[in-house]
Amino acid sequence: MARRITQEFEDIELNPDEEDRFFVNGAHQNARIWYWDCVMVIDSTDTVYRHTYLNLRCEFPPEYPYKPPEIFFQTPVFHPYLHRGELCLHIFRELEWGPTKTMRSVLASIYDMLVSDGSNLDHLNICKERSMEYTRNLDYVFFDQIIQRCLRMSLPEETPLSEEVDATWDMIGEWDTEVLKQRQLNDILIDLVDTAFEEKFQGLQTTVLRILGIVNGLFINKEEFTRMNTFSEVEMPEETIVVTPIDGPARDIPKWKSVSLFSAMNPGSLAGGDDSLIVPLSSENLTTVLSLCTPQEEMSVRIYNPCAESVSKLTEPIKSLDLKATLALLKTVDFLGIRRFVFACCVQLSHYLRRNGRRLYANRMAT
């Protein structure tokens, strides 16, 4: 057994996974067992475990490779085929485990199980967490909300659970408890969104709710849920346009293609004369918007429930704005038609609402 385990470890060390899906941090032996510390790196955006890595331990029985390893996830994470982090050994039976199987194939199979959210194993007759499977199949967006929150991927200031050195399963509750908590949080968030927009700007409200992972009714279509919002590359404009804010004076500014209002209208079309475009913005607001207009690379982010890390670059220019200033800027860039910053403001607003929602939830639970 020891020789076989050592050979497999050296093989992965010398020939790492070509797609960087997993790594073995170390092989260990104590008085009882051999075990490996492994890491799953989830770069795929098409899974509830996106943009994270998960730590797990592989323990080898004395009969290895004639008996399969036991797999324990040390990063607390929900999955239909995990019971408080332990992978059901029946999976190996269904996958026809034998001495020709290797740990490389085991780790690749675990990766596939994660990026498919477990759906690739549903045809097998093995034990599973039925309530998780039910939520995944009938309300995928809600399933995603719970996983992302418990992995601490929703807010920029959170330390992802995978980075916690001493992470324990006490850091998350039982599945049914987390389901109830998420439903209560969603009710609070919906009220906060209504209040923030004063029940107006329905289109912007919908965008913010999608970013929060909240949609009307059940949401089953995973392809729709993983759809991306792509923002085109922005180049420094060669043309200029004369714009007059409501408090004057007229200003000659770059004609950014990312500002739909500038691109769609000719000078003079808003009653500014033959060579000026009057906009219903103050000089201060116009200056703020122009300071955000810079050359930008093309980027894509998820429409529904993007994790905080994936949108950090998008929100960087406005991260210092408070809730009130973010709302004001959102209405301005929406009027001007700057898609990239409409979405950025909606993301920034979602961060504030998540924080407020969690505080309100904690206060309710304390009373």
Q: What gap in Å lies between CA 352 and CA 334, rounded to an integer?
A: 19
Whether residue 154 is contained in a domain is answered as no
Whether residue 176 is contained in a domain is answered as no
Whether residue 109 is contained in a domain is answered as yes
Give the residue numbers annotated as catalytic, written as ranges. 88
Residue 9 belongs to domain spanning: 2-128
Q: Do 115 and 44 touch, CB atoms closer than 8 A?
A: yes
Whether residue 362 is contained in a domain is answered as no
Q: Is the pTM higher than 0.75? A: yes
Whether residue 206 is contained in a domain is answered as no
Q: What are phi and psi of 39, to 5 degrees?
A: -130, 130
Q: What is the CATH number of the domain that holds 11?
A: 3.10.110.10
pLDDT at 307 (0 to 100): 87
Burial grade of 79 (CB within 10 A; 0-12, 13-18, 19 or more): buried
The total number of structural domains that make up the chain: 1
pLDDT at 310 (0 to 100): 84
pLDDT at 273 (0 to 100): 47
Residues 6+ apart with CB under 8 A from 14: none
pLDDT at 267 (0 to 100): 46
Whether residue 191 is contained in a domain is answered as no
Q: What gap in Å lies between CA 95 and CA 119, rounded to an integer?
A: 15
pLDDT at 7 (0 to 100): 93
Q: What gap in Å lies between CA 58 and CA 307, rounded to an integer?
A: 29
**Three-class DSSP category at 86:** strand
pLDDT at 362 (0 to 100): 96
- Which stretches of the chain score pLDDT less than 70? 217-220, 264-276
Q: What gap in Å lies between CA 38 and CA 27, rounded to an integer?
A: 9
pLDDT at 218 (0 to 100): 62
Angle at 151 between CA 81 and CA 179, to 5 degrees: 65
The string of DSSP letters for 231-297 reads: E--B---S-EEEEE-TT---EEEE--TT-HHHHH--TTTTSS-SS-EE-SS-HHHHHHHHHH---B-
pLDDT at 264 (0 to 100): 67
Question: Residue 348 is inside which H or E element, if any?
Answer: helix 339-366
Whether residue 81 is contained in a domain is answered as yes
Residues 6+ apart with CB under 8 A from 364: 184
Q: What gap in Å lies between CA 282 and CA 265, rounded to an integer?
A: 19
Strands 251-254 and 240-244: antiparallel
Which sign does the torsion angle of CA 162, 166, 169, 172 carry? Answer: negative
Whether residue 102 is contained in a domain is answered as yes
